Homo-oligomer: A and B are copies of this chain.
């Protein structure tokens, strides 16, 4: 016997293309009456309805009790929220006592606009005589008077999203359903607490941090001078869960895929950026953010996600990597997928995919910008999500890299990952998704070319240690950072590291062999301490001559302001020095840097970059070195008056003084703190030189325990002025 293929779904004009349900917000619901005898008109007569002898007066979703059991009581949402593969109970209030031998009651849970059993968008469970459950299980827990308490257990792989509830009394004549009632809608989330769930996480302390923690620290600055900024993930804030589902609807993620965390993560990484699919955030590294909010001005994700949702899915302006990563982190934790934000210091942006970052200097040691396309970011933020990779061999489960900052297109769309951290460490780059790109961000060599006057280049230096220097994430139950470099890489120069490189080459990474380079026997190094923004300071260049004869070094030192992307805005200093150093001696020269030289050119994250290029006259060899100087912004003081008590008013003041001799214009001051206050924005048209501003806010703590208050001051001339205050809220006595 063979298949009646005439039974196919009638497609539209584009029959080759199947129409798939891609929205959680669209609905189609079953009729209130459904008669089984197709001959008779719809809607049974009164006698029949009586004959049914049973009707459902109301359905109690037991929101509060269930939410406690399902670790979802922190969500500020009036509907029920449950997790997969864990039973929740609802109470059916009937007009008489339920009889398990005679009555037949069916519960139907629907999602989307074309509910379909085979696709998990139409789920039925039943109690009473006609017992036939599908993937979800049900049982009668208790019968008390006219109340029946029913236990329902969604399966461990079901779709994550908002379901609609219907209860139908079934008789020989037909089905009699409850009407559509949004109060009985409920959300199903991923379940890190359940071993059967793809995102299961064994340790409670891990779940507490990576799923339940709604504030975090994101690290930036520079690897030798790590700076911290707090971020409000706010995954439990009112409206955030709906916003996350809306993001998937806007991105047309088929409902069918929404039970698979690998798919949800991959789609999510594409949907956080506005490139090629009106996603949540618009990336902007131009320095001009007048058309929106500066990336440095945000304090958390809720403001961004709620803006996106309330404005009809219009992309929000503007973001850079930590904003992308912070928002994606909220999206993941909100849906129940364990996630954390990672910072990779000295992150290569290898767009030729050859694991080489090529830097080309011209004949005189100046950059040849027309031939230098790659770059190394001072730091780059991405996310890790924790899950079982059902599509890959078991050892590649666990933490997965996902990166939603638009860098390269991954397979046509701007997204990256999920890709197994274990696979990256082993150089096993065949498996999806985008392993090669992530591997390059961590393992590229920096190749330093110099061209002769014929335009022919030759390699003058190769640095295999610079890229992927350090990877950090927030420690559990602490705001300190944790060094996780070892989860991504074997020690520099170790045998294992060489093996990994060979493995990577067997997986299509072009091999990297370089001709040996002539050693100058002379080292140069730049030195400076971190400086308070605006101060004058000294930059020192040390020259060590290890050869047996004296040498003469002619050096050019370039000073410029640099973005965290490794892109410079302005060169403010250019100085040449010539020094003679005796055999096996050391010399040093100092250069004075005035605040007034760099202040006017500062961009959002105030790093100064000094590059020295030198030439040894005696043997005509080239030297080069670099030093990033991070500038400490002025302080933003947060003061609290009185002890914070639940339900009691609390006064907080934020103070700032403009230490510069120029006016700060269009100043934004943001205050933020989950379960303390919604994001507050205060704007100052200007702050005069030497002038101070003091912003007082009253707030009423909602819950006891540790909470974080964050403040951020931002204006075109001064970025990245942030501070945070940890507050221990005590119970009302």
A interface with B by C-beta (< 8 Å): 1-18, 20, 34, 36, 104, 106, 116-119, 124, 130, 132, 170, 175, 256, 266, 270, 275, 283-286, 288, 320-321, 346, 349, 351-353, 356-361, 367, 369, 371-378, 390-393, 405-408, 411-414, 429-433, 436, 446, 448, 453-457, 461, 463, 466-467, 507-508, 523-524, 558, 560, 562-563, 565-568, 609, 611, 613, 623-626
Docked-complex contact B407 and A3, CB < 8 angstroms = no
Contacts of A454 in B (CB 8 A): 36, 104, 106, 130, 170, 175
A373-B18 contact, Cβ under 8 Å, with A6-B367, A359-B7, A432-B432: yes
A5-B626 contact, Cβ under 8 Å, with A283-B14, A352-B256: yes
Complex Cα distance, B16 from A449, in Å, reads: 24
Contacts of A10 in B (CB 8 A): 369, 567
Docked-complex contact A3 and B352, CB < 8 angstroms = no
Docked-complex contact A357 and B20, CB < 8 angstroms = no
Complex Cα distance, B408 from A20, in Å, reads: 9
A624-B4 contact, Cβ under 8 Å, with A9-B374, A116-B371: yes
Contacts of A20 in B (CB 8 A): 351
Contacts of A446 in B (CB 8 A): 3
A524 (CB) vs chain B CBs: closest residue: B1
Complex Cα distance, B444 from A153, in Å, reads: 29
A18-B429 contact, Cβ under 8 Å, with A4-B624, A6-B558, A371-B118: no
Contact of A430 among B7, B266, B392 (CB under 8 A): B392
Docked-complex contact A284 and B13, CB < 8 angstroms = yes
Closest 10 CB pairs of A and B: A15-B285, A8-B375, A5-B566, A390-B508, A13-B286, A391-B508, A6-B568, A4-B611, A36-B453, A16-B283
Given contacts A8-B567, A430-B431, 5 further A-B contacts (CB under 8 A): A4-B626, A11-B285, A15-B567, A16-B320, A391-B508
Please give the distance in Å from A420's CB to the nearest CB on chain B.
11
Contacts of A567 in B (CB 8 A): 6, 8, 10-11, 15
Contacts of A371 in B (CB 8 A): 116-118
A563 (CB) vs chain B CBs: closest residue: B15
Contacts of A118 in B (CB 8 A): 352, 356, 358, 360, 371, 373-374
Please give the distance in Å from A31's CB to the nearest CB on chain B.
12
Docked-complex contact B624 and A375, CB < 8 angstroms = no
Please give the distance in Å from A555's CB to the nearest CB on chain B.
13
Contact of A375 among B9, B36, B170, B568 (CB under 8 A): B9
Complex Cα distance, B447 from A3, in Å, reads: 9
Docked-complex contact B359 and A4, CB < 8 angstroms = yes
Docked-complex contact B609 and A3, CB < 8 angstroms = no
Complex Cα distance, B448 from A26, in Å, reads: 29
A376-B117 contact, Cβ under 8 Å, with A3-B446, A14-B284, A18-B407: no
Contacts of A17 in B (CB 8 A): 275, 283, 406-407, 414
Complex Cα distance, B432 from A288, in Å, reads: 40
Give this chain's copy count.
2
Contacts of A285 in B (CB 8 A): 11, 13-16
Docked-complex contact A562 and B6, CB < 8 angstroms = yes
Contact of A4 among B170, B270, B367 (CB under 8 A): B367
A375 (CB) vs chain B CBs: closest residue: B8
Docked-complex contact A376 and B18, CB < 8 angstroms = no
Docked-complex contact A1 and B36, CB < 8 angstroms = no
Docked-complex contact A507 and B7, CB < 8 angstroms = no
Complex Cα distance, B694 from A132, in Å, reads: 67
Docked-complex contact B16 and A565, CB < 8 angstroms = yes
Contacts of A360 in B (CB 8 A): 7, 118
A558 (CB) vs chain B CBs: closest residue: B6
Docked-complex contact A407 and B16, CB < 8 angstroms = yes
Contacts of A256 in B (CB 8 A): 351-353
A8 (CB) vs chain B CBs: closest residue: B375
A16-B558 contact, Cβ under 8 Å, with A8-B565, A359-B4, A373-B119: no
Which of A1, A130, A392, A448 has its CB near the most chain B CB atoms (within 10 A)?
Answer: A1
Docked-complex contact B373 and A2, CB < 8 angstroms = no
A16-B321 contact, Cβ under 8 Å, with A1-B461, A373-B118: yes
Contacts of A436 in B (CB 8 A): 391
A505 (CB) vs chain B CBs: closest residue: B390
Complex Cα distance, B372 from A117, in Å, reads: 10
Docked-complex contact B16 and A391, CB < 8 angstroms = no
Contacts of A626 in B (CB 8 A): 1-6
Contacts of A563 in B (CB 8 A): 15
Docked-complex contact B463 and A1, CB < 8 angstroms = yes
A562 (CB) vs chain B CBs: closest residue: B6
Please give the distance in Å from A549's CB to the nearest CB on chain B.
22
A20 (CB) vs chain B CBs: closest residue: B351
Docked-complex contact B376 and A3, CB < 8 angstroms = yes
Contact of A463 among B3, B170, B356, B407 (CB under 8 A): B3
Please give the distance in Å from A300's CB to the nearest CB on chain B.
21
Docked-complex contact A624 and B1, CB < 8 angstroms = yes
Please give the distance in Å from A176's CB to the nearest CB on chain B.
13
Docked-complex contact A5 and B412, CB < 8 angstroms = no
Complex Cα distance, B14 from A286, in Å, reads: 7
Complex Cα distance, B349 from A20, in Å, reads: 13
Complex Cα distance, B436 from A429, in Å, reads: 19
Contacts of A130 in B (CB 8 A): 454, 456
Contacts of A170 in B (CB 8 A): 454
A-B contact pairs, 13 of them (CB 8 A): A2-B463, A4-B624, A5-B562, A6-B560, A8-B566, A9-B369, A11-B285, A17-B275, A175-B454, A175-B455, A256-B352, A392-B508, A411-B433
Contacts of A613 in B (CB 8 A): 4
Complex Cα distance, B454 from A106, in Å, reads: 10
